[in-house]
């Protein structure tokens, strides 16, 4: 069956890297014509400094524990790494030489990511700084969220995708926008903990405090092993808007919702990073900004899953806020809404984005195909 323009309604809740990448892949799809609307409390172009949109990070590809033990996550990371690697010529993505230091000696052939990153080699003991015992050098990629998210948004706008700023308290608020045959993508990250109809209590934050510096001498990504809540990393950022900048990190504080700045922690971050990269103390380096963000983690890993939600919403005891829709009859069956959830990407939303978005699009297309048979 052939499609006409604006065939399939698709509403994406959330305009972070996950929501935007899903919308982007859907907009580019040739076999289904989507009519796409992105709804979010924070939008990239206007809210890049907001803590509701995670943009205060490197953001690079780095080996993370979940990628080592979860095949699905590993595949998302592989696809994303390859996609971002191919985007290096655009200038939005930087090829980043990296060194990861470990507290224990190890063997490069044991690394689960040896076929994912590029040019992996074990560092000789003379290249390992105190207090580390081993180290691996490799080539990775990094993006600058402050340029990357607005780029995704402008690409979407140029393809006819519309954006709406809105705080959604309950999934059924989007019912009219989605329409009877439409599909909702829920990419609302930590918001899914409190949006009625999702209320996912497995979600939790991992607090990350960082410092943005101007330090043109930093050309390499340096990372210390993740063993405590206070970690050490330096990630030079790509892009033309903030040349010569890097993110210094950081903290990894599970279940802390505290978004206030702690200058004692900032001092420790700076000192640890300066011990690895003394150029941070040179005259040409300066601090530009302190950041605190929350990584949207989830017990059991990210949720990418299709759900058909009956309307009115069940298990809410009739307590759903009802401010705007006179048709919001809570007593009668109102059908259902098809939702694809995509949230809980924790410390790796950027490095999992293209692979996860591809899986989401596969779920959506399968539903569209089902409807047509």
Residues that bind ligand FAD (CB under 6 A): 13-19, 40-42, 52-54, 56-60, 166-168, 187-189, 191, 195, 208, 210, 250, 293-296, 343, 345-351
Task: Locate all alpha helices (DSSP H) within the chain, ordered by sequence.
Answer: 17-28, 44-47, 65-69, 71-86, 145-158, 175-178, 263-276, 349-372
State which residue, 2 or 228, has the beta carbon closest to ligand FAD: 228
Q: How far is the CB of 159 from ligand FAD (least distance, A)?
A: 19
Angular region, 119: left φ>0, alpha ψ -120 to 50, beta rest: left
State which residue, 360 or 368, has the beta carbon closest to ligand FAD: 360
| Structure tokens belonging to residue 36 | 């796409």
The helix (run of H) or strand (run of E) holding residue 337 is strand 336-343
Neighbours of 370 (CB within 10 A): 8
Q: How far is the CB of 39 from ligand FAD (least distance, A)?
A: 6
State which residue, 8 or 21, has the beta carbon closest to ligand FAD: 21
Q: What is the distance in angstroms between the CA of the first residue and the CA of the last residue of the chain?
A: 9
Interstrand relation of 118-122 and 134-143 (parallel, antiparallel or unpaired): antiparallel
Q: How far is the CB of 288 from ligand FAD (least distance, A)?
A: 15
State which residue, 6 or 319, has the beta carbon closest to ligand FAD: 319
Reduced to 3 states (helix: H, G, I; strand: E, B; else coil), residue 143 is strand
Q: How far is the CB of 162 from ligand FAD (least distance, A)?
A: 15
State which residue, 136 or 368, has the beta carbon closest to ligand FAD: 136
Q: How far is the CB of 361 from ligand FAD (least distance, A)?
A: 15
Interstrand relation of 162-165 and 34-40 (parallel, antiparallel or unpaired): parallel
CA distance 248 to 238: 14
Please give the backbone phi and psi of residue 60, each rounded to the nearest 5 degrees, phi first. Answer: -115, 175
Q: How far is the CB of 220 from ligand FAD (least distance, A)?
A: 15
CA distance 236 to 246: 4
State which residue, 183 or 190, has the beta carbon closest to ligand FAD: 190
State which residue, 63 or 208, has the beta carbon closest to ligand FAD: 208
Could you tell me how many residues make up the chain?
Answer: 373
State which residue, 40 or 276, has the beta carbon closest to ligand FAD: 40
Closest listed residue to residue 346, CA positions, set 11, 101, 17, 14: 17
State which residue, 111 or 206, has the beta carbon closest to ligand FAD: 206
Are 13 and 40 contacting, i.e. CB atoms less than 8 angstroms apart?
Answer: yes
Q: What angle do CA 328, 331, 336 make, to 5 degrees?
A: 65
Q: How far is the CB of 149 from ligand FAD (least distance, A)?
A: 8
Closest listed residue to residue 348, CA positions, set 70, 67, 40, 10: 67
Q: How far is the CB of 16 from ligand FAD (least distance, A)?
A: 2
Q: Which residues pair with 235 in a beta bridge?
A: 247
Q: How far is the CB of 17 from ligand FAD (least distance, A)?
A: 5
Give helix 17-28 / helix 145-158 axis angle, nearest 10°.
Answer: 30
């Amino acid at each position: 069956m052939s499609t006409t323009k604006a065939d399939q309604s698709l509403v994406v809740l959330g305009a972070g890297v996950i929501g935007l990448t899903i919308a982007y892949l859907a907009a580019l799809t040739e076999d289904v014509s989507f009519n796409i609307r992105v709804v979010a409390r924070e939008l990239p172009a206007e809210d890049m400094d907001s803590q509701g949109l995670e943009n205060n990070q490197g953001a690079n590809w780095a080996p993370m524990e979940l990628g080592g033990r979860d095949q699905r996550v590993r595949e998302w990371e592989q696809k994303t790494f390859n996609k971002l690697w191919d985007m290096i010529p655009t200038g939005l993505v930087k090829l980043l030489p990296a060194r990861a230091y470990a507290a224990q000696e190890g063997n490069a052939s044991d690394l689960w990511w040896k076929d994912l990153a590029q040019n992996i080699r074990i560092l000789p003991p003379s290249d390992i700084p105190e207090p580390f015992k081993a180290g691996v050098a490799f080539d990775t990629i990094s993006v600058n969220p402050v340029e990357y998210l607005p780029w995704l948004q402008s690409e979407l706008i140029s393809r006819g995708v519309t954006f709406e700023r809105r705080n959604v308290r309950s999934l059924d608020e989007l019912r009219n926008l989605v329409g009877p045959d439409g599909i909702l993508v829920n990419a609302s990250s930590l918001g899914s903990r409190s949006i009625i109809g999702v209320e996912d209590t497995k979600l939790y934050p991992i607090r990350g405090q960082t410092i943005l510096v101007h330090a043109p001498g930093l050309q390499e990504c340096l990372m210390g092993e993740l063993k405590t809540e206070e970690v050490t990393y330096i990630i030079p950022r790509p892009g033309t808007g903030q040349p010569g900048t890097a993110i210094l990190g950081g903290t990894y504080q599970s279940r802390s919702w505290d978004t206030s700045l702690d200058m004692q922690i900032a001092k420790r971050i700076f000192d640890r990073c300066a011990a690895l990269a003394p150029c941070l103390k040179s005259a040409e380096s300066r601090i530009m900004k302190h950041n605190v963000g929350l990584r949207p983690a989830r017990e059991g890993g990210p949720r990418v899953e299709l759900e058909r939600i009956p309307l009115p919403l069940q298990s809410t005891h009739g307590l759903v806020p009802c401010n705007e829709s006179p048709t919001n009859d809570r007593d009668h069956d109102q059908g259902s809404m098809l939702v694809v959830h995509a949230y809980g990407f924790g410390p790796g939303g950027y490095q999992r984005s293209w692979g996860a978005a591809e899986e989401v699009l596969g779920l959506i297309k399968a539903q569209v195909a089902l409807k047509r048979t």
